[in-house]
Structure 1
C-alpha cells in the first residue's frame, strides 16, 4: 500500500463530510477508494480524488440527487454536464419566480389585514386612495346578478 494514501477518516475530515457519506459513495460507485486493504477492509483514497468529491458536493448543492450525479460523472462528458447545469439553472429561475409571486401574495394579504385592523368604525365616511386595478369585462346575455339571486333563493 502507498503511504501517500488518505484513510477514510482523513478523507472525510479533510472534506468536511462523514465517513458514512464516503461509504455510501463507495457503495453507489460514485467515489471508489483507490485501495481497500484485503485483511481489514479499510478504505484508502488518493488526494487527487478530492476534485471528484468536490464536484459531487457541488452538484448536490445544485439540488441534484446522487443518481443524477453518478449518471453524469460516469459519462465523463463536459458538454452534458454543462447542459444539465443550464437546465438546473432554468428550473431554479422558475422556482424563484414562483416563490416571489407567493411572497408578493403574502405581502398583499398582510397589507390588507393591517388596513382592515386600522380601518375606522363602520359608518365613518373616509377618503381613501386605491391603487390602480385592472377590470376585466366579459360581454354576455346572462344577467349574473339576477341569476345569482334566483339560484340563491332556490338553494335557501
Structure 2
C-alpha cells in the first residue's frame, strides 16, 4: 500500500466531517466498501475518489433519503440517472422552501395580528381611526353561533388553500328598513388574493378612509352594537353596514373574546 494513496478511516472522518461509526455502518451494509482493508488488523482505508460517494450520501441523508434508495442509486452506477435524480431532489427542495417561506409569512402575519389586536384594546370608548383599503370575502349567514360557524366553513371552502390567512375575520350587520341583523360572515384577504379573486362573487373592498370604532367583549356585544346605532343616529351618520371584527388577543380564551365594531364614515381621496 503506497502511503497517502489511501486515507485511514480516522482521516476520512475528519476530512469529510462524518463519524467513524457511520463509515463502519456504510461498510457493513455494503453501501460504501473501503478501497483497501488491511488483512492483518482489519483497518479500513479509502481513496480520494471515494469522497464523492460520501458527498452524495451526505446530501441524500440530509434530504431524508433512505439507505436502500441510496444503495439502489449506487447500484445503477449511471451518471445520467444520477443527474435526473438530483434534479428531482432539487425541485423538491425548492418546493419545500416555498412552503417554509409561506409558513414563515403566516407566522409573521399572526404575530402582527395579535400585536395590533392588543393595541386596539388600549382604545376606550368610541374612536375615529383611518384605515388603508382592505379586501374581504363574505358568505351569507343567519343569526346564531352554529349558523355562523357553518357559514365560516363554507367561506373557507371558497378561499381554498391558495389564499394567505390574514387571521382577520368577523360578522357583517346589515340594515333593511331600519331593521339591523347579522347578514354575513367575512374574512379579510390580501391585495394579491383580491386581484386573483376579484371576479368571484362575494368579494368586496373596504375603502380607505375614516372609521368609527368601538371595542366590546362577547358578553357586551349586543349592548355595544346598540350604542353604535345610537351614536350614528345622534350624529346623523348614514350607513347600512356595520363590521364586527374579532380581535385576536387571548387566543385560548374563546368564551369571552374581544371584538371591535367598525363603521365606514367617509372615504379619503
TM range (shorter): 0.7 to 0.9
What does the per-residue CA deviation read over 1:82-121, in whole Å, with 9 as the maximum and x for residues that have no partner?
2222221222222222222222221111111121222243
Within-5 A mapping of 1:74-113 = 74-113=75-114
Q: 2: CA distance between counterparts of 1:74 and 1:149?
A: 62
Identify the residue that residue 127 of structure 1 maps to in structure 2: 129
Identify the residue that residue 20 of structure 2 maps to in structure 1: 19
Identify the residue that residue 141 of structure 1 maps to in structure 2: none
Q: SS where residue 135 of structure 1 aligns?
A: strand
| TM-aligned CA deviation for residue 75 of structure 1 | 0.5
Q: 1: CA distance between counterparts of 2:68 and 2:44?
A: 22
Q: 2: CA distance between counterparts of 1:131 and 1:112?
A: 16
Q: Which has the higher helix share?
A: 1
| TM-aligned CA deviation for residue 122 of structure 1 | 3.7
TM-score, structure 2 as length reference: 0.47
Q: 1:87 to 1:9 in 2, by over 3 A?
A: same
Identify the residue that residue 46 of structure 2 maps to in structure 1: 45
| TM-aligned CA deviation for residue 150 of structure 1 | 8.8
Q: 1:97 to 1:6 in 2, by over 3 A?
A: closer
Q: SS where residue 128 of structure 1 aligns?
A: strand
Q: Which has the higher strand share?
A: 2
Identify the residue that residue 28 of structure 1 maps to in structure 2: 29
Structure 2: which 5+ residue stretches go unaligned?
Answer: 149-269
| TM-aligned CA deviation for residue 27 of structure 1 | 1.4
Q: 1: CA distance between counterparts of 2:138 and 2:42?
A: 72
Q: 1:83 to 1:151 in 2, by over 3 A?
A: closer
TM-score, structure 1 as length reference: 0.75
Q: 2: CA distance between counterparts of 1:47 and 1:150?
A: 69
The number of aligned residues is: 146
Identify the residue that residue 157 of structure 2 maps to in structure 1: none
Q: 2: CA distance between counterparts of 1:130 and 1:7?
A: 67
Structure 1: which 5+ residue stretches go unaligned?
Answer: 139-143
